[in-house]
Amino acid sequence: MFDEIVDYVRENYSRASKIIEVGVGSRIDVAEKIKKSLPLAEVLVTDKDEAWVRQHSTSQIRAVADDVRFPQTPVYQHASLLYSIHPPFEIVEPMVMLARRIRADLLVVPRSDEQESFHHNEWEKLVRNGRTLGWLRVHRREHLS
């Protein structure tokens, strides 16, 4: 599952120096697959819940305890892409603010009943194989693929 996100990131962010999954929760497999696809990029994951972060401490991916509503900026600096899978919509706006501040792109894959919260004028719909994959906001000016 979510292999299409991995493919998309690999194809579009192959020159990225840092990629961050925000609100990783219980699963770290997507981040691990991205790291495997892009070994030169630093891939890290964050969650406000320290228990999840500790659970991921055995992974090769660095896991960081952080509440994106009050982000610890140094953790995110120099990221090319922030992405989040099924985030509660309350943290979408803080993610937008953060991505804008650090000039990173933001990819959000919402749950189906929160799809329509993404205002079409502000977000770019990301379609893969004819299906909606998620929503993107581009803040970087340079090409990373």
* For helices 3-12 and 29-37, angle between their N-to-C axes, nearest 10 degrees: 30
Least spacing, CB of residue 88 vs another protein, in Å: 4
Least spacing, CB of residue 6 vs another protein, in Å: 14
- By CB under 8 A, name the one of 9, 31, 64, 95 that touches another protein: 64
Per DSSP, the residues of 57-121 read GGSSSEEEE--TTS--HHHHTT-SEEEEES--GGGHHHHHHHHHHHT-EEEEE--GGGGGGS-TT
Least spacing, CB of residue 131 vs another protein, in Å: 5
Does residue 132 touch another protein according to CB under 8 A? yes
Reading the block at residue 123, the tokens are: 């977000």
Residue 85 CA to residue 10 CA, distance in Å, equals 17
Interface residues toward another protein, by CB under 8 A: 1-2, 15, 17-18, 25-27, 39-42, 46, 48-50, 52-53, 62-67, 69-75, 77-78, 85-86, 88-91, 93-94, 97, 100-102, 111-117, 119, 121-122, 125, 127, 130-132, 137, 139
